[in-house]
Amino acid sequence: MSDVTIVGAGLAGCEAAWQLAQRGLEVQLVEMRPVRQTPAHVTDQFAELVCSNSLGSTRLDRALGLLKEEMRRLGSLVIACADAHALPAGGALAVDREGFSQAVTQAVTTHPRIHVLRKEIEEIPDGLTILATGPLTSSSLAGQIGRFAGQAQLYFYDALAPIVTLESIAMPPAWRQSRYDRDSGQSEGDYINCPLDRAQYEAFVGAVREAGRIELRSFETDPEAERFFEGCLPIEVLAGRSMEALAFGPMRPVGLRDPRTGRRPYAVVQLRQDDQAGTLFNIVGFQTNIKWPEQRRILQAIPGLEQAEFVRLGQMHRNTFINSPLLLHATLQARGRDDLFFAGQITGTEGYVGSAAGGLWAGLNAARLAQGMAPLVLPDATMMGALFAYITQADPRYFQPMKSNFGLMPELETHVRNKGDRYLAYAQRALQALEQFMAGHSLAPVPVRP
C-alpha cells in the first residue's frame, strides 16, 4: 500500500516522488507512457525534455539562476541530475537530454519506496494525491479535472499576451488612465496607455502583417484550437482582416485623452497590471504567435515601449492548465480537498525549472501532511515563493501561465539603480530568506544521490 499517489512522471512528478520517498513515504508513481503516448514525447523515459535542452541561466542575477539555486538548497533531484549531465553552454545550464532523462528515471525507478505503475489514469485518485500531468494531460483525466475544478476553470489552449516591467515603460509619452476615467480608485487610472498617430498605427499594422509566425505543431492546430482562438484572436489574424481591425479592437482609443494634446489618439496600446506588487503589466489583447525576435522589434516601435523589458513574450501552444488563483492555496493544495495537490505546468508555472519547483514543493508539503504536520507557504521574498504566490493570488479573470522573473518579487527596501546589481540584491535577499525559513521550520534538504 502506498501513502501517496502521484500521476505523471515528468519533471514535477519525479521531483515530488523523490521528495516524498526521501522523507520516508511510500509512493505510487503512475505514468501512462508508453501504454499511451503523447503527441510530443518520443521515449518512455521519465523527465523527458521535449523542447530545448536548456534549463536557463546559472547566474544568480537571473531569475532562473536564482530559482535553481533555491532548489539545490532544498535538495532537488532534477537540478542535481541536470548539474551531473551539464554540457558547455556559457552561462546557461544545458544538459545531455538522454543522459539527464536516464539519470532521473534511474533514480526514481530504483528507489525502494517509489513504486512505478505504467497505465493511464482516467479519474482523480482518492487519498493523498499529487496531479502532475503537465500540459498534455490525457483527455479523460482532463475531463475529470474539469469536473472537479469547474469546466470553465480548465484551459486547453494558451494565447498569451506579452508582459513588460513597469519601470521600463516611458511615461510620457505613455500615461495612466482608464477609459472614460473608470477605475478602481487608482487616482491616475488603472491602465497605462501608449498613443499612436495614424502613420505610426499603419506602420505597426504593416509590420505585424509581414512578421514571421512560430509554426504550431500538428496537435495544436485542430478545430478545437481554432474555436478557442476565435474568441481570443492573435493580433496578426486581426491585422490580416483589415487595416482598421486592430483600431476597432484591442487598440480602440475611445474614452481616452492624451494629456500632452488633450485629444483622443488615433490608436492606443493599453497595458494592465499583472501582479499584486504592480511591477508587471501585460499588453491588453495582444496575444500573438509572431516569432520572438520580430515580436520584440515590433512592440518596441510602439511609443513608450522603446526600452521595454519583456518578462514574457506572446505565444500560443497546446497547454492544459487550471485557474490556480481560484483553485489552489499557496501550499499547492486544492481548495475544498486538502489531500489533493497540483504541481507543474498544469498549475500555470512555465518552463522546465518552474515545473520541477512545483513538484518539489508539492512533494514536501504532501509529506508534511502525511506525517501530521501543517503544509508550509514559502516567503514571497524567495523566487519559488514569489512564483507560487503569483499563480495562487493573481486576478483569476486574467490568469495566464507565468515563468519565474524578478518582477514577481516584493520590491527592495532600498532601490538599486543598476539593474544587474538590483537583481543580485533580490537574489541575496531571497537566499537569506530561504535559509532563515528552513532553519525556522527545521527543514533539512533531502539527500540527493542521482
- In a domain, residue 448? The reply is no
User: Do 435 and 352 reside in the same domain of the chain?
Assistant: yes
- Total domains in the fold of the chain: 2
User: Do 309 and 325 reside in the same domain of the chain?
Assistant: no
Instruction: Please answer whether residues 138 and 39 qualify as being in contact, where contact means their C-beta atoms are separated by less than 8 angstroms.
Output: no
Phi, psi of 329 (to 5 degrees): -85, 165
Taking residue 84's Cβ as centre, other Cβ atoms within 10 Å add up to: 14
pLDDT score for 185: 45
User: Do 184 and 299 reside in the same domain of the chain?
Assistant: yes
Instruction: Please answer whether residues 96 and 117 qualify as being in contact, where contact means their C-beta atoms are separated by less than 8 angstroms.
Output: no
Beta-carbon contacts of 12 under 8 Å, excluding residues fewer than 6 positions away, are 132, 134, 343, 344, 345, 355, 356, 358, 359, 362
- In a domain, residue 301? The reply is yes
pLDDT tens for residues 185-241? 445 677 899 999 999 999 999 999 988 887 655 444 444 444 333 445 788 888 888
**C-alpha pair distances (Å), 54 with each of 101, 187, 352:** 13, 44, 9
Instruction: Please answer whether residues 46 and 9 qualify as being in contact, where contact means their C-beta atoms are separated by less than 8 angstroms.
Output: yes
Choose one of 269, 295, 313: the last residue of a domain: 313
- In a domain, residue 447? The reply is no
Q: What percent of the chain has pLDDT over 90?
A: 51
User: Do 411 and 284 reside in the same domain of the chain?
Assistant: no
| CATH code, domain carrying 266 | 2.40.30
pLDDT score for 297: 93
User: Do 136 and 172 reside in the same domain of the chain?
Assistant: no
pLDDT score for 199: 95
pTM listed for this prediction: 0.71
- In a domain, residue 325? The reply is yes
Q: Cell 485557474 sits at which residue?
A: 323
- In a domain, residue 19? The reply is yes
pLDDT of 50 above 80: no
15 or 292, which is more confident:
15
Domain with 214, as residue range(s), is 163-313
pLDDT score for 224: 45
CA distance 37 to 50: 13
- In a domain, residue 446? The reply is no
Average of pLDDT values for 302-321? 84
User: Do 194 and 301 reside in the same domain of the chain?
Assistant: yes
DSSP state of 181: G
User: Do 306 and 187 reside in the same domain of the chain?
Assistant: yes
Handedness of CA 212, 213, 217, 221 (dihedral sign): negative
pLDDT tens for residues 255-310? 899 999 999 999 999 988 876 677 888 888 888 888 889 999 999 999 999 999 99
| CATH code, domain carrying 376 | 3.50.50.60
pLDDT of 42 above 60: no
User: Do 304 and 393 reside in the same domain of the chain?
Assistant: no
- In a domain, residue 449? The reply is no
User: Do 373 and 274 reside in the same domain of the chain?
Assistant: no
